[in-house]
Structure 1
């Protein structure tokens, strides 16, 4: 079979494995990029498609445009593979990264740096204000039907209260919520396994969200379902009475991170709770955090123990 036929066969396979709504979003970018890159790189077509589909999903979740000039920047690829592909094992990410970097070298934007730089801040990382969080809580409670209301409350509570990603929300069961006298701790499963203490202000909404759930029930959208990331975006898109600040898991996670940074939470502890592999991942959130007063900063720097 020719390389062109192998590529088209791989494209049809991945289209069939994706939902219609997801492929409508990522398909044009994957098709165009794969067809342009395949003659220029030495990887099999199915591996090219696999890598591009994961990159496209990551960009959609992060709110970045699916354009070659953005998605094929080396720093974007590095951040997406390191932080936004929890569905892949460490070994799979190790394989996907060089494929994407080779595609970037072949057809990426001119001037792409050879050395990876820190990812610049992006609009989806802008935190919600306290007023906007109030609107989101109101939006969640006004959804029609018990399960839609509970799922909306869980989405907001676990995003703003524990910094979960869309994928982590989709894989969370009620039994993963550990109730302790001092508060709730979230047992996050998957590639970035960790324990995350829930912010106290979101305890009550989460209890309300999980009313009547059993240990094995999904916290978000209980009942039979898949785990495609578009389940979250579709749920939001079909919700009633969307507030001016639309629900977005990436912004909810950013709100949680920036609140902790501003409050002086130990950055190593915060990085671990967020599932980051290094403190560098916190850099893009720093511009939004409140700086301590000069006098307080001086005292802390002078009297650190």
Structure 2
């Protein structure tokens, strides 16, 4: 099947038995006169118009990140959308289904919109791509935007082009203010059950206190959090293994969150969980809310970064603690610190970061 999403196979022509989209059809299907609908008995009606390899790839796909009842609800519509445009795209069948399925589920089940062609309206695509409750990288957002807009062009042909903000170098989240952080601490400590208080406290302390992203939070075990009289240090594994000292403001909250957690247990989530999908956002959405701002891990991490920059933390040390690879990534946070957003400070931070590397 080949490479990851966004890396097309280059075929000289159709290849028998290949499920890759470039081998599906010579040209895309046409939008039915009835428009893009969810019509079908458990699967999209357009699937049957594709070659057998292509239709088989779409029929076999089962979403692992969407609840079964919700997936059954949107499956025919998603299949119709992918079948409509996939032959003109250079992406793997399974990856196309992943993106379309998650987008349609978000529009229909999270935002409550009807399942009609306007699901793929460019305004909704723009809202989806600009979400700040996910930890997508810029390249991921660009890939998702490209494919979803391709569907939009076919499914909603009468809509003109829509202006999108550039993604390269654009900060998609803003740090919390001190007042907002106080409200978020009240959110974490004020949950109605002990498991929710522990989970909310851990998410806030690890995000705003150590700059961890959702994937790193959910893969952290109690034994990775080292507590002594000098403070707390978190040992982060994964793609950017590192040691991160927790900011003093959040030490008490993290201590309380892990006080009754076994050494080999997960810091966030039940001890028996096995899922590798993002559990942090669903957990946050199930917590009790008041008038506090929405708890968003990316904003917590942005707050951690700006806190260190404002305090004068050495750029090289901050790069290592944040798991960053490009010094320019630090500079995107300076827009939120007007006193440091100057050529002089930018040069200093870049020099420190490059020297630290």
Same fold (TM over 0.5): yes
Conserved? CA contact 2:215–2:278, under 8 Å: no
Deviations 1:41-82 (A, max 9, x none): 24441243357779999xxxxxxx995457789xxxxx9457
The residue that corresponds to 1:94 in the other structure is none
Give the Cα separation in 1 of the matches to 2:75 and 2:176.
31
Give the Cα separation in 2 of the matches to 1:29 and 1:134.
43
Deviation at 1:271, TM superposition (A): 2.4
Q: Does residue 249 of structure 1 match 2:297?
A: yes
Conserved? CA contact 1:15–1:27, under 8 Å: no
Deviation at 1:226, TM superposition (A): 3.8
Q: Does residue 139 of structure 1 match 2:139?
A: no
The residue that corresponds to 1:156 in the other structure is 204
Give the Cα separation in 2 of the matches to 1:228 and 1:19.
15
Conserved? CA contact 2:220–2:236, under 8 Å: yes
Conserved? CA contact 2:125–2:145, under 8 Å: no
Q: Does residue 274 of structure 1 match 2:318?
A: no
Q: CA RMSD in A?
A: 4.4
Q: Does residue 2 of structure 1 match 2:52?
A: yes
Q: State which of 253, 263, 270 in structure 2 corresponds to 1:222.
A: 270
Q: Does residue 288 of structure 1 match 2:339?
A: no
Number of aligned residue pairs: give it.
Answer: 271
Conserved? CA contact 1:172–1:220, under 8 Å: yes
Structure 2: give runs of 5+ residues left out of the alignment: 1-50, 106-121, 154-160, 353-357
Q: Which has the higher contact order (CA 8 A, sep 6+)?
A: 1
* Segment of structure 1 superposing worse, 99-108 or 153-162: 99-108
Deviation at 1:176, TM superposition (A): 0.5
* Segment of structure 1 superposing worse, 158-167 or 37-46: 37-46
- Alpha-carbon spacing, 1:140–1:241, altered in 2? closer, same or farther (3 Å): same
Conserved? CA contact 2:202–2:258, under 8 Å: yes
The residue that corresponds to 1:205 in the other structure is 253
Give the Cα separation in 1 of the matches to 2:341 and 2:248.
25
Give the Cα separation in 1 of the matches to 2:316 and 2:140.
20
- Alpha-carbon spacing, 1:210–1:46, altered in 2? closer, same or farther (3 Å): same
- SS of the residue corresponding to residue 279 of structure 2 reads helix
- SS of the residue corresponding to residue 14 of structure 1 reads coil
Conserved? CA contact 1:176–1:186, under 8 Å: yes
Q: Does residue 165 of structure 1 match 2:196?
A: no
Give the Cα separation in 1 of the matches to 2:78 and 2:332.
27
Q: Does residue 120 of structure 1 match 2:170?
A: yes
Deviation at 1:251, TM superposition (A): 1.0
Give the Cα separation in 2 of the matches to 1:208 and 1:27.
43
Deviation at 1:32, TM superposition (A): 7.3
Give the Cα separation in 1 of the matches to 2:103 and 2:232.
33
Give the Cα separation in 2 of the matches to 1:254 and 1:118.
17
Give the Cα separation in 1 of the matches to 2:180 and 2:123.
27
Deviations 1:174-200 (A, max 9, x none): 000122443211111222222211111
Q: Which runs of 4+ in 1 moved over 6 A?
A: 26-30, 51-57, 70-73, 82-85, 99-102, 104-113
Give the Cα separation in 2 of the matches to 1:83 and 1:203.
34
Conserved? CA contact 2:78–2:104, under 8 Å: yes
**Normalized against structure 1, the TM-score is what?**
0.70
The residue that corresponds to 1:259 in the other structure is 307
Deviation at 1:283, TM superposition (A): 3.8
Deviation at 1:151, TM superposition (A): 1.1
Q: Does residue 194 of structure 1 match 2:242?
A: yes
- Alpha-carbon spacing, 1:23–1:119, altered in 2? closer, same or farther (3 Å): farther
